[in-house]
C-alpha cells in the first residue's frame, strides 16, 4: 500500500507521473475491485487556473481539496458522473491528481455488472466517470483516506519509465482559459488500450 508520505510531497506533477503503473482498489460491500493506473491529470494551486482546480465550485464540494495529501476528493459532473481525485501536498496547498483511466485487473465481473456491460473493453474503465462507476466510487467516499479499508492504492513493482509517458493538455478545460487548457499536465501510457481518447 502506498504510504501517506507518497501523496504529501509538494510536486503534484511528479506524483501524477509516478501514479502511472500503481494500482487503485476499492472494497465496496465486501467486494474488492481494482486495476492499474494508466492515465492521470495534475491540478496545482500554483501555475494553474483556479477554475481548473475547482476552487470556484460550491464551497461544500471544494472543501474536500483542503485536506492533507492522501485523501479522496470526489466531485460530480455531466449529470452525476463521480470523478476521483487524490489530494496531494498539505491542507494549505490544494493540489490534486485526477485518475482518468485504469486497466481493470481485479473483480472484473463486478465492474461489468456495475457498468451494465457484457464484456471487458475500453468503455469499462477508460475515462474518469466510467472507472468510478466500475469501482463503485461515489461522492460519499470523498474525504476517505487512501490507505483503506474502502479505498487504497498499491505499488506492485510495475515501474514506468519516463520515456514511456506521454504528456499532453488536460481534457475539457477550455472554460478555464487558454493558458490552463494548454498546460501539458495530462499523463498517460500511450500503448495502453485502456486510456481515454487521445487529444
pLDDT in tens, 103-148: 999 999 999 999 999 999 999 999 999 999 999 999 999 999 999 9
- pLDDT, residue 45, reads 78
- pLDDT, residue 58, reads 47
Q: Whose grid coordinates read 468510478?
A: 132
pLDDT score of 4 more than 90: yes
What average pLDDT does range 90-109 have in this prediction? 95
What average pLDDT does range 65-88 have in this prediction? 90
User: CB atoms < 10 A from the CB of 147, how many?
Assistant: 15
55 grid coordinates: 476552487
Q: How far apart are CA 175 and CA 164, in angstroms?
A: 30
The backbone torsions φ and ψ at residue 7, rounded to the nearest 5 degrees and listed phi first, read -85, -20
The pLDDT tens digits of the residues spanning 17-74 come to 999 999 999 999 999 999 999 999 999 877 665 555 554 444 455 677 788 999 999 9
List the domains of the chain with CATH numbers: 4-188 (3.10.300.10)
pLDDT score of 96 more than 80: yes
For 82, residues 6+ apart whose C-beta sits below 8 A from its C-beta are: 74, 75, 76, 129, 132, 133, 137, 138, 139
> What HEC string does the chain produce?
CCCHHHHCCCCHHHHHHHCCCCEEEEEECCEEEEEEEEEEEEECCCCCCCCCCCCCCCHHHHHHHCCCCCEEEEEEECCCEEEEEEEECCCCCCEEEEEEEEEEEECHHHHHHHHCCCCCCHHHHECHHHHHHHHCCCHHHCCCECECCCEEEECCCCCCCHHHCEEECCCCCHHHCHHHHHCCCEEECCCCCCCCCCC
pTM: 0.91
What average pLDDT does range 77-84 have in this prediction? 85
- pLDDT, residue 64, reads 75
Closest CA to 64 of 72, 56, 80, 76: 72
- pLDDT, residue 74, reads 93
- pLDDT, residue 178, reads 74
* Rg of the chain (C-alpha set): 15
Amino acid at each position: 500500500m502506498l504510504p501517506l508520505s507518497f501523496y504529501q510531497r509538494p510536486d503534484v506533477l511528479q506524483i501524477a507521473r509516478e501514479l502511472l503503473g500503481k494500482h487503485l482498489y476499492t472494497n465496496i460491500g465486501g467486494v474488492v475491485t481494482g486495476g492499474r493506473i494508466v492515465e492521470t491529470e495534475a491540478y496545482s494551486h500554483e501555475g494553474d487556473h483556479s477554475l481548473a482546480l475547482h476552487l470556484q465550485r460550491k464551497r461544500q464540494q471544494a472543501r474536500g481539496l483542503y485536506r492533507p495529501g492522501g485523501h479522496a476528493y470526489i466531485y460530480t459532473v455531466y449529470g452525476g458522473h463521480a470523478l476521483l481525485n487524490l489530494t496531494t501536498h498539505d491542507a494549505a496547498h490544494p493540489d490534486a491528481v485526477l485518475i482518468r483511466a485504469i486497466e481493470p485487473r481485479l473483480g472484473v465481473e463486478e465492474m461489468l455488472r456495475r457498468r451494465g456491460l457484457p464484456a471487458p473493453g475500453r468503455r469499462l474503465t477508460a475515462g474518469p466517470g466510467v472507472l468510478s462507476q466500475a469501482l463503485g466510487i461515489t461522492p460519499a467516499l470523498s474525504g476517505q483516506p487512501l490507505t483503506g479499508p474502502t479505498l487504497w492504492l498499491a505499488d506492485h513493482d510495475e515501474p514506468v519509465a519516463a520515456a514511456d509517458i506521454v504528456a499532453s493538455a488536460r481534457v475539457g478545460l477550455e472554460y478555464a482559459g487558454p493558458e490552463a487548457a494548454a498546460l501539458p499536465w495530462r499523463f498517460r501510457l500511450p500503448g495502453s488500450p485502456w486510456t481515454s481518447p487521445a487529444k
